[in-house]
Amino acid sequence: MSKQEFLYLSQEEAVACGADDIPATVADVDRATLLLYRGDAIEATTATLFWDLPKDDLKKTVGYKGTKRANIHAAFLDNDGDRMVGLKNIPSNPENPAKGRGPRASGLLTMLDPESGYPIALMDAAVISCIRTGALGALGARYLRKSGRNDVAVIATGPINQAAMEALVHVCDDGRDIGTVRVFDISTERAEAFAERLRKAHGLDVAVAASAEEAVRVSDIVMPATTLTDPEQAYIRYEWLRPGALFIDLSIWDAEYDLFARADKLYANSHEALDRRNLTPGCLIDAGIITPDRLLDLGGVIAGDVAGRENDEEIIVYCARGMAIYDAICGHRVHKTAREKEAGRDLTLWNEPYWARF
């Protein structure tokens, strides 16, 4: 039995190998969504741990008042014979930045050999997770936005929406199909800084809105990416959406349930989103807001089996639900690039397996 090693990549090394590559990540997310729809990918049930919560809150099935959590995700993909397995753990606490600790979330992604199951790479997952989440939101705009130039509402300017806007520019003909971008954040200073970055980087017409409602009412694509934790905190109303709007449900609790009920069409990146009953859209079934047959699979749209937008008057909701398939396919690409660049360093899991001595 031989020595077992795996490649370790720090956050900086992962970025140098493409963890933040927007076009590559959009392509990966698009492909993984199709593979899952075709049955060529497997997504394990997510394990979530909350702590420092009142006991009564731990019994809730939808929404949590607490902020400290850790999610464990796992997935397998067979991309036309290129097989990959990834495991991601991502703990988070939205209070971290305000308390001077650093980012809201950290994470580790372990890539496994699909035959032996042994680890072949361990890398930072925070950047991959953030970029693929933003790309997943933009994927909805690629297939479901109305024709022509679209005005955009960006609600909150944290890392997720920063990634989502970069990906949106990419899928909207490098920004040529984007009209005015209206940015709202509870911090006007952050909103102004984000707006200026978009102007300088992409030459976009960007305005800072005084409220979320002001931004939403005049926009065709609405992207909230906040840190809300409970449906009782919802604030975006159906009446705010104008005809033809695409509401990209990135951060789960921003829209009132009535918005989902009254939308002309409701999509998710996979029908498997219904299995997670503590989030939208799954929780909407238990609440009697929608029936399962209303949810359309974006993978089917990509495959050409399901109709996308059929006219420019439809109000469409797209639920972008994070899945390990996206981390795995992106991590597979980053690992391959790292090997080509001879980046990172090999760590030893064992020189000789413990049980081989007996």
Q: pLDDT by residue (tens digit) across 123-164?
A: 999 999 999 999 999 999 999 999 999 999 999 999 999 999
Question: What is the structure's pLDDT at 168?
Answer: 98
To the nearest whole percent, how much of the chain has pLDDT over 70?
97
> For the residues 295-308, what does the mean pLDDT come to?
98
Counting beta carbons within 10 angstroms of the beta carbon of residue 276, is it exposed (0 to 12), middle (13 to 18) or buried (19 or more)? middle
Bridge partners of 247, per DSSP, are 222, 317
Least confident of 97-101, 192-196, 240-244, 257-261: 97-101
> For the residues 86-91, what does the mean pLDDT come to?
96
Give the tens place of pLDDT for each residue, 69-78.
899 999 999 9
- pTM, entire model: 0.94
Question: Is the CB of residue 213 less than 8 Å from the CB of residue 206?
Answer: no
60 or 101: which leads in pLDDT: 101
Residue 227 has pLDDT above 90, yes or no: no
Question: What is the structure's pLDDT at 63?
Answer: 63
Question: Is the CB of residue 244 less than 8 Å from the CB of residue 267?
Answer: no
Question: What is the structure's pLDDT at 356?
Answer: 82
Share the mean pLDDT of the chain. Answer: 94
- What CA–CA distance (Å, rounded) separates 50 from 64? 9
Question: What is the structure's pLDDT at 243?
Answer: 98
Question: What is the structure's pLDDT at 95?
Answer: 86
Question: What is the structure's pLDDT at 60?
Answer: 65
Question: What is the structure's pLDDT at 56?
Answer: 76
Question: What is the structure's pLDDT at 49?
Answer: 87
Give the tens place of pLDDT for each residue, 6-65.
999 999 999 999 999 999 999 999 999 999 999 999 999 988 888 888 877 776 666 666
Q: What confidence category does residue 1 fall into, taking pLDDT thresholds of 50, 70 and 90?
A: low
> For the residues 305-328, what does the mean pLDDT come to?
97
Question: What is the structure's pLDDT at 236?
Answer: 98
Give the tens place of pLDDT for each residue, 317-348.
999 999 999 999 999 999 999 999 999 999 99
Question: What is the structure's pLDDT at 357?
Answer: 79
Q: Which domains does the chain have, with CATH numbers?
A: 4-128+324-357 (3.30.1780.10), 145-319 (3.40.50.720)
Q: Is 225 helix (H, G, I), strand (E, B) or coil?
A: coil
> For the residues 84-88, what does the mean pLDDT come to?
98
To the nearest whole percent, how much of the chain has pLDDT over 90?
81
Residue 239 has pLDDT above 80, yes or no: yes
Question: Is the CB of residue 241 less than 8 Å from the CB of residue 223?
Answer: no
> Exposure pattern of 227-257 as b/e (b: 16+ CB <10 Å)?
bbbebeebbbebebbeebbbbbbbbbbbbbb
Question: Is the CB of residue 246 less than 8 Å from the CB of residue 140?
Answer: yes
